[in-house]
Structure 1
Amino acid sequence: MSASMHILAKDDEATNCGSGGGADSYFGLRVASIFIILVGSSSGALFPVLARRSTWLHVPTAVFDFAKYFGSGVIIATAFIHLLAPALDELQSECLAQGWQTYPYALALCMLSIFSIFLLELIAFRWGTKKLAEIGMTHDAHGHLAGSHASHGPEGNPDESKSKSSSSEVDVENQHGLRVLDSALTQIIGVAILEFGVTLHSVLIGLTLAVNEDFKVLFVVLIFHQTFEGLGIGSRLAYMDLPPKYRWVPFAGAMLYGLTTPIGIAAGLGIRTTYNPGSTTASIVSGVLDAFSSGILIYTGLVELLAHEFLFNKDMMTSSNGRLAYAIICMLSGCALMALLGRWA
Structure 2
Amino acid sequence: MAVCATDTARELSCRDSRAAANLKLVSMFVIFVTSVVGISSPVMLARLFQGKPVYDKAILIIKCFAAGVILSTSLVHVLPDAFDALADCHVASRHPWKDFPFSGLITLIGVLTALLVDLTATSHVDSHGGKASSNYTAIGTSEELAAARKKSAESGVEMGVFGVTMGMSQNQCTIRPLVAALAFHQIFEGMGLGGCIAQAGFSFGTTAYMCFMFSVTTPLGIVLGMIIFWFTGYDDSSPNALILEGLLGSLSSGILIYMGLVDLIALDFFHNKLMSSESWLKKASFIALTLGSTSMSILALWA
Distance across 2 between alignment mates of 1:88 and 1:278 = 17
Asked if 1:52 corresponds to 2:15, the answer is no
Which residue does 2:97 correspond to in 1? 100
Contact 2:165 2:225 in 1 (8 A): no
Q: CA deviation at 1:100?
A: 0.6
Larger Rg: 1
Asked if 1:190 corresponds to 2:154, the answer is yes
Change (3 A) 1:78 1:228: closer
Q: CA deviation at 1:123?
A: 5.2
Match of 1:85, SS state, is helix
2:283 to 325, 337, 340: 325
Superposition pairs of residues 175-324 of structure 1, within 5 angstroms: 176-204=140-168, 207-209=170-172, 222=176, 226-240=179-193, 241-242=196-197, 243=200, 244=202, 245-257=206-218, 276-319=235-278, 321-324=279-282
Asked if 1:79 corresponds to 2:37, the answer is no
1:340 to 278, 295, 298: 298
Distance across 1 between alignment mates of 2:121 and 2:222 = 30
Contact 2:86 2:246 in 1 (8 A): yes
Contact 2:132 2:146 in 1 (8 A): no
Which residue does 1:157 correspond to in 2? none
* One-letter code aligned to 2:214: G
Q: CA deviation at 1:71?
A: 2.0
Distance across 2 between alignment mates of 1:10 and 1:34 = 29
Change (3 A) 1:255 1:103: same
Contact 1:69 1:327 in 2 (8 A): yes
Matched pairs, number: 284
Contact 2:131 2:146 in 1 (8 A): no
If each structure's helix is expressed as a fraction of its own residues, which one has the higher value? 2
* One-letter code aligned to 1:88: F
Q: CA deviation at 1:103?
A: 1.0
Change (3 A) 1:231 1:45: farther
Change (3 A) 1:263 1:37: farther
Change (3 A) 1:277 1:69: farther
Match of 1:101, SS state, is coil
Q: CA deviation at 1:317?
A: 0.9
Match of 1:330, SS state, is helix
* One-letter code aligned to 1:95: H
Contact 1:69 1:328 in 2 (8 A): yes
Contact 1:200 1:293 in 2 (8 A): no
Q: CA deviation at 1:248?
A: 3.4
CA RMSD in angstroms comes to: 4.4
Match of 1:103, SS state, is coil
Q: CA deviation at 1:329?
A: 2.2
Change (3 A) 1:285 1:105: same
Which residue does 1:114 correspond to in 2? 111
Which runs of 5 or more structure 2 residues have no equivalent in the other structure? none
* One-letter code aligned to 2:262: V
Change (3 A) 1:126 1:260: closer
Contact 2:20 2:171 in 1 (8 A): no
Superposition pairs of residues 118-137 of structure 1, within 5 angstroms: 118-122=115-119, 124-126=121-123, 128-129=125-126
Change (3 A) 1:247 1:337: farther
Distance across 2 between alignment mates of 1:181 and 1:194 = 20
* One-letter code aligned to 1:229: L
Distance across 2 between alignment mates of 1:9 and 1:294 = 27
Which runs of 5 or more structure 1 residues have no equivalent in the other structure? 1-5, 146-150, 152-175, 210-217
Asked if 1:70 corresponds to 2:65, the answer is yes
Change (3 A) 1:283 1:122: same
* One-letter code aligned to 2:210: V
